[in-house]
Amino acid sequence: MFAVTAARIDAEDPLSGLEAGDHAEPVPPDGWTTVTVKAAALNHHDVWTLRGVGISPDRLPIVLGCDAAGLDPDGSEVVVHAVISGGEYADETLDPSRSLLSERYDGTFAERVAVPRRNLVPKPPALSFTEAACLPTAYLTAYRMLFTRSGVAPGATVLVQGAGGGVATALILLGRAAGYRIWVTSRSEEKRERAVKLGADQAFPAGARLPERVDAVMETVGEATWAHSLRALKPGGRIVISGATSGSGPPADLSRVFFLQLSVVGSTMGTRDELARLLRFCEQTGVRPLIDRTLPLAGARDGLAAMISGELFGKVVLTV
């Protein structure tokens, strides 16, 4: 079958390790099944893999990709939950032995992928394969951040750092549909304008002084925005962090944290049940993922290059 793989690791030139071509068919072990992939979405996780983050050379080559929507062996339309849990956990994101597809097991950038049967979620007919493929990583991460981990109710003011990325655009769309007041930041005036058109109430330059302090901050950027995130919070407010694309070691500013009784909460992906609820949320509200571009599977290199350069607003989807 045709697949896109990480064959080598190069932190400085990640695309040099990308290969596309023939790959062995998946052989599902007991409890697993094979999904015929119709669409798969790109994530920063794929770039990190090519840079050697979270994977060792002995696991290569490995098929890239966490997200997919397709057909199970019975022909039913399904969405793949990307978190592979090694045990019976009520919340599989808390399993210390968990992994994502493309970390220990071949991922979704292929004509077929093997996954645990329990990781299949029925795809609502209202969502296309390309739309559904966007949900299991970026949109599920945003869903959990807002609805499970933020601790704030609809009507609250939520600041999203770094408009334009997959999780950030998901936070805008989901938050707006659920009744939150969504503010965003970006260094790019164009991305700020697009965020407002997408549904954000206001958009500000990165690091700008806000009209008032917010109830919660959704943080995926890390070092570059951390100080601003802390300053932006009301006393008793909460930062929910699910990524650190600009670095993971900013000054903690602990005096501000304890004096204002701020909370810092981590959030990673989401459960299979949360993915099912996210699909139902999209079906019932009419929210659809923002797709920047759709490419054939063989065009994965172009999509990854756009992601590395930051020339995106929304998701890149590969169709098979």
pLDDT score recorded for residue 243? 86
Query: How many residues would you count in the chain?
Result: 320
pLDDT score recorded for residue 88? 76
CB of 119 within 8 A of CB of 272? yes
How much is the pTM?
A: 0.95
Q: Which contiguous run of DSSP H or E holds residue 236? A: strand 233-241
pLDDT in tens, the chain (320 residues): 999 999 999 999 999 999 999 999 999 999 999 999 999 999 999 999 999 998 999 999 999 999 999 999 999 999 999 999 987 788 999 999 999 999 999 999 999 999 999 999 999 999 999 999 999 999 999 999 999 999 999 999 999 999 878 899 999 999 999 999 999 999 999 999 999 999 999 999 999 999 999 999 999 988 889 999 999 999 999 999 998 888 889 999 999 999 999 999 999 999 999 999 999 999 999 999 999 999 999 999 999 999 999 888 889 999 99
Euclidean distance between CA atoms 95 and 283, whole angstroms = 29
pLDDT score recorded for residue 163? 86
Euclidean distance between CA atoms 93 and 84, whole angstroms = 9
The residues spanned by each domain of the chain are: 2-134+289-319, 139-266
CATH superfamily of 2-134+289-319: Medium-chain alcohol dehydrogenases, catalytic domain (3.90.180.10)
pLDDT score recorded for residue 84? 95
Q: Which CATH class is domain 139-266?
A: alpha beta
pLDDT score recorded for residue 145? 98
Annotate 24-77 with DSSP letters as a single string.
Answer: PPP---TTEEEEEEEEEE--HHHHHHHHTTT--GGG-SEE--S--EEE-TTS-E
Name the pairing type of β-strands 77-80 and 83-84.
unpaired
pLDDT score recorded for residue 310? 83
Name the pairing type of β-strands 99-100 and 83-84.
antiparallel
